Structure 1
Amino acid sequence: MEETIAAAEDSQIAGQIPQQRGDSPQETAVRYAEERHWDVFPGTWLEAVGGIPRCSCGEASCPAPGAHPTRPDWANQATGSATVVRRLWQKQPMASVLLPTGRTFDALCVPETAGFLALARLERMSLTLGPVALSPDRRMQFFVLPGGAVKVPELVRKSGWVPASLDLVALGAGAYVAAPPTRFGARGAVQWARRPTPANRWLPDVEELVSALAYACGRDR
């Protein structure tokens, strides 16, 4: 039975990612603040150096070029005020759009293959899903209600898995995710695998997703 389910899910993994709207980083950040009431803050951006995109931080070996905070106190910079958001991006229009976790949402981060497998399973089960982001480093972030990140290790164990054996990262207070249209170096832009809409304004509890995500990560090892 499990093999039949897995085969059906695998056939859905290759689905195309929806195309992104052509809004600027500032316009998109303002929309996140106004429509979703998410806190946002500007991060680094990409600069062309000899025709090659480099991170504005100046580090040639930057692990997240164009997609990380510019200052250590970034958590204090994050704001849900559209007026402040406009002012922040006026200073650097190409700054990446970063969202702090642990406030209006937490995020469960898994490898892309496991993420699509879990999406297929969750949708077939008719479970409520929040927004799901896909970054060009082949990671997916599932948005859940805030406060859920700390519950993940115990929930994974209850699902029959050893937390350390799975590539399932829970992002809560003190962490952040990059949101569309942020670009990661030459690898491309962050996209929405499941775009924020009025239908998914209410986020799921972490308990609703962990079992499917743990199973998908276990299969992806």
Structure 2
Amino acid sequence: MTPTVPPPRTAHPAGRNSRAGGASRGTCAQWYEQELGWATAGSAPVRLLTGLRFDALVVPAAAGHAALERVGRTGPVALTGRRMSLLVAPGSADELPGLLDWLEWGGVALELTALGAGGRITAPPPPGRPGPPGAAVWLRPPCPPHEQEGEPGFPALSGFGSRGGDAPDLIRLVDAVATECHRARLTRARAGLPPRKSAAQPLAFS
């Protein structure tokens, strides 16, 4: 008796991840790569590579929220748990130590991390697409290049100026972030609480 050969199995779509609300790794990565021109890596979750199209300032979420209220509109901002990533122009990570010195923050330990070449951040789902509970989210999503006319780009260091309204966006942003990080650290110290442990290595200057 000739055995019955079962029909071929239907392959699942490549990169399908049921934990991400049915969105595939390919769909998420394609949006960043094709719509924004950003490099990605990994699959669960997708990561955005820093140091190419942008760098990132990573700070405690509370300090980041307070800083954003002070500086107003800025570049894309992502939230992952208790950490906030503020996207800035590529090369900003290299400029940060000197900029903090110029802003007179050089002698202060800050829970502030700059990610440049070789770094990566978790990619939130594209705007309007759901993600799993606890996933990274865009607080200020990026716009595709064809939609960016009249919208702010990545905060950049275009030259040193005063700390007033004519200062470059990166200077205002870094000064506000450093102020709020230091304020949060002092608040915890006064309350007798230890400094929060950061997932990334904070900058410290002696």
Provide TM-score, normalisation by structure 1: 0.58
Quickly say closer, same or farther: Cα 1:39–1:112, change in 2 above 3 A.
same
2:86 to 142, 167, 171: 142
Does the alignment pair 1:152 with 2:91? no
Can you give the 5+ residue segments of structure 1 that lack an aligned partner in the other structure? 1-20, 44-94
Name the structure 1 match of 2:52: 103
8 Å CA contact 1:130, 1:142 repeated in 2: yes
Provide TM-score, normalisation by structure 2: 0.62
Paired AA for residue 142 in structure 2? P
Name the structure 2 match of 1:202: 153
Quickly say closer, same or farther: Cα 1:204–1:168, change in 2 above 3 A.
same
4+ aligned runs moved over 4 Å, structure 1: none
* Larger fraction in strand: 1
Matches of 2:56 and 2:34, distance apart in 1? 20
Quickly say closer, same or farther: Cα 1:113–1:145, change in 2 above 3 A.
same
SS class of match (1:220): helix
Does the alignment pair 1:176 with 2:120? yes
Does the alignment pair 1:130 with 2:75? yes
Does the alignment pair 1:38 with 2:50? no
Can you give the 5+ residue segments of structure 2 that lack an aligned partner in the other structure? 1-20, 127-131, 157-169, 186-206
Quickly say closer, same or farther: Cα 1:203–1:215, change in 2 above 3 A.
same
Does the alignment pair 1:190 with 2:141? no
Q: What percent identity do the matched residue pairs reach?
A: 42
Paired AA for residue 179 in structure 1? A
How many aligned residue pairs are there?
A: 143
Higher alpha-carbon Rg: 2
The Cα shift of 1:202 comes to 2.4
Matches of 2:51 and 2:78, distance apart in 1? 16
8 Å CA contact 1:115, 1:213 repeated in 2: yes
The Cα shift of 1:24 comes to 3.8
State the Cα RMSD in Å.
2.6
Quickly say closer, same or farther: Cα 1:201–1:162, change in 2 above 3 A.
closer
The Cα shift of 1:152 comes to 0.7
Matches of 2:171 and 2:78, distance apart in 1? 19
The Cα shift of 1:23 comes to 4.5
CA shift digits 1:33-62 (9 cap, x unpaired)? 11111001124xxxxxxxxxxxxxxxxxxx
* Larger fraction in helix: 1
Matching of residues 16-35 of structure 1 within 5 Å: 23-35=23-35
